[in-house]
Each structure stands twice: as C-alpha cells, then as structure tokens.
Amino acid sequence: MADASNVLGGKLQTCCTSPMTGYYRDGLCSTGAGDVGVHVVCAEMTEDF
C-alpha cells in the first residue's frame, strides 16, 4: 500500500518477518478493504512484559 502511514504520518516500518506478519503477510501493518479484522497494530514485547 503506497499510501499507508503510521500514526505520526511517517512511512510504515517492517514489524516482523519471522514469522511474516500482517494481513498481507508483508511484515507491515498494511490493511485494505478485505481486512475485516483490521490488522493494523504491531508491538515488540520484552521479556518483562
């Protein structure tokens, strides 16, 4: 998705590629009309979490 951006208006960064995440399995939080579950959140958890 060329026009996808993060909450600050910046470019999306890769979240995870092992396993490949995201609705489109592109490692990003990209979404579209077919994503009825709205898979747009990515978080990196620490052991303390």
Q: What is the pLDDT along the chain (49 residues), one digit of tens a residue?
A: 557 788 888 888 888 888 888 888 888 888 888 888 877 888 878 999 9
Q: Give pLDDT, residue 44.
A: 78
- Residue found under tokens 């600050």: 8
Distances from the Cα of 6 to the Cα of 10, 32, 36, 38, 47, angstroms = 5, 14, 19, 14, 25
Q: Give the residue from 38, 10, 9, 8 showing the smallest Cα distance to 23.
A: 38
Domain boundaries, the chain: 1-43
Q: Give pLDDT, residue 48.
A: 95
pTM of the model: 0.55
Q: Give the residue from 31, 32, 33, 29 showing the smallest Cα distance to 15.
A: 29
